[in-house]
Amino acid sequence: MKLIKKVRSVFGRIPLKFSIWLYFLGFTILVFVLLWLFQILFLEKFYSQTKLKNVEMASNAIIASYNSDTSSEFSEKLAKIASENDLCIEVSDRFGRSLYTKEYSVSCIIHGRENSIYEYQKRIADNGNKPIWLKVNNPRNNCSTVLYGCVLGSQDNPNGYLLINTTLVPVGSTVTIIKRQLMIITIILLIFAFFISLYMARRIARPIDSITEAAESLAKGNFDTKFDGRGYLEVKKLAETLTYAEEELSRVDTMQRDLIANVSHDLRTPLTMLKAYAEMIRDLSGDNPVKRNEHLEIIINETDRLSLMVNDILDLSKLESGKQKLSPSEFRIREKLGEIIGRFKGISEKMGYNIHFEPDEEKIVNCDVVKIEQVIYNLINNAINYTGEDKQVYVRQINKPEGIVIEVRDTGDGIEEEKIRLIFDKYYRSENHKREVVGTGLGLSIVKAVLKLHNYDYGVRSKLGEGSVFWFRISARDVSDVKDE
């Protein structure tokens, strides 16, 4: 196990192109080793076993034909088997007289009568009428010859005997020739394999090396890096993933810069006013109750504004970190919507905004009432910031079978389609507005975090020149169901 881990650690430090080259070359060498083993070392043994198997199969076919075919059919079958398998076949009666002879082998020791057929019949009988396998030397060509003999018919009362012989052609010279050829082929192919594997390794590793260099550049903060994924499907997918990661990192970096700029700006303004009015109270209006109260009121308002910003940042941080827990309770949604809209009565009268409420039948919902109030408040406040010159804001309650849809619509300039997906990001503010926006820039981010925490559907529909509709859906039940309980 330690050795395997050590090998893995070593290969883990080897460049990809070298690993590919090593594997390819190793595979080529393995192929040649196997080829040499089977073509040189085992060739003679394989040849002998194949030859003996052919003799046995020919014997079975001859016996089957002898028992079923006519004399002429048997003779034709015998000739075919002998020619196809390069065999010398002798069929004799029990007295040793030859009935059928077919010679197709290089030499035939049976037909040449170097040994009498009767002698082999006696050997079969002495073997318990079982087939015999003999390996003899053929004096004609001094080659090793295999002789096979068996009984035709019943072993107790044989009709005749079958003798088959075939020469085992010497393979020594053949092996020498093959060995020389393999040596030449091996050297040539190993040279080719070396250079081809080196080329392929470089070609395969080149796009990965390119992506690695681009990723290193991205890690250093260069968000204009281009990832080239040409060559292979997997590399293309990797390049697309890294390109997407680059876009997201670039967006996050931009948002982070904007966050610092926005927070700095939003903090600087109230702090400057706090200091200025505090100095005015000290130097000018300290003895003037009317002026002093006026300046103190401004200080209080700016302090509230700072507190709101800090609270928004803390709330969003808790929501996104998962530390903020829900405290669900049941309440009437139409009543709650009317109560929240009533809180905007002062700003409506003071700044000329008209907030229209279109309620539906009362429903009971079960969720965190404080956080849902915050969602509705933030959506209305966002609509006030971005509505048109008519200063109209519309809040609708739409009861549907799958839940209650709360919509908040403004009559502003709308949002471009490609920017809709950014609208819930921190500190993102649409450029399509004609007045100074009041708020911290975190309102919609808090809306998104709260609704995701509740697992509620939400979204925005917008068309340029016609305003935007922000909505979310909340599950509910009838008021009558509560009364029945």
Count: domains in the chain: 2
252 and 394 in a common domain: no
pLDDT at residue 15 in the model = 62
Residues 369 and 329: beta-carbon distance below 8 Å:
yes
Q: What is the CATH number of the domain that holds 241?
A: 1.10.287.130
Q: How many other CB atoms sit within 10 Å of the CB of residue 165?
A: 25
Decide if 164 contacts 151 (C-beta within 8 A): no
Same-domain check for residues 308 and 352 = no
User: 420 with 462: CB under 8 angstroms?
Assistant: yes
pLDDT at 282: 75
* Structural domain that includes position 382: 329-484
pLDDT for the residue numbered 11: 45
Q: Which residues of the chain have pLDDT under 50?
A: 4, 7-8, 10-12, 106-107, 111-114, 433-437, 482-485
Rounded Cα distance between 341 and 358, Å, is 11
Of 297, 321, 345, which closes a domain? 321
Same domain, 479 and 448: yes
Q: Are residues 337 and 470 in the same domain?
A: yes
Last residue of a domain, one of 268, 289, 321: 321
User: Across 111-230, where does the E strand assignment appear?
Assistant: 132-138, 143-153, 158-167
| Whether residues 268 and 377 fall in one domain | no
Pairing of strands 158-167, 403-410: unpaired
HSE, side-chain direction, 13 A CA sphere, residue 315:
23
288 sits in which H/E element: none
Closest to 447 (Cα-Cα) out of 459, 431, 429: 459
Query: How many residues are listed for the chain in this entry?
Result: 485
User: So what's the pLDDT on residue 240?
Assistant: 76
Tell me the residue ranges of DSSP E strands in 252-343: 329-332
Does residue 23 lie in a domain region? no
If asked whether residues 365 and 446 sit together in one domain, one would say: yes
58-71 burial code (b ≥16 CB/10 A, e <16): bbeebeebbeeeee
Is the residue at 270 inside a domain?
A: yes
In this structure, are 435 and 465 located in the same domain? Answer: yes
pLDDT of 325 reads 78
The two tokens of residue 262 are 């926005």
Distance of CA 205 to the CA centre of its chain: 20
Structure tokens at 121: 């019949």
The answer to whether residue 316 is domain-embedded is yes
The three-class DSSP label of residue 45 is helix
Is 387 contained in some domain?
A: yes
Residue 24 lies in a domain: no
Q: Are residues 392 and 469 in the same domain?
A: yes
Residue 166 bridge partners (DSSP): 146
**Same domain, yes or no: 294 and 361:** no
CA-to-CA distance for 190 and 183, rounded, in angstroms? 10
Task: Specify the DSSP class assigned to residue 240.
Answer: H
Residues 17, 205: contact at Cβ < 8 Å?
yes
**Do residues 340 and 377 touch, judged by C-beta distance below 8 A?**
yes
User: Could you tell me the CATH number of the domain that includes residue 449?
Assistant: 3.30.565.10
**Same domain for 273 and 249:** yes
**Cβ–Cβ under 8 Å, residues 78 and 149:** no
Q: Which of 321, 339, 362 marks a domain boundary?
A: 321
For residue 376, tell me if it sits in a domain: yes
Rounded CA gap, 459 and 218, in Å? 33
Establish if 37 belongs to a structural domain.
no
Q: Helix, strand or coil for residue 475?
A: coil
- To the nearest 10°, report the CA torsion of 433, 438, 442, 446: -100
Collect all residues with Cβ–Cβ distance below 8 Å to 354 and sequence separation of at least 6. Answer: 348, 391, 392, 393
432 and 360: one domain? yes
288 and 334 inside one domain: no
Q: Considering the domain boundaries, does residue 337 fall inside one?
A: yes
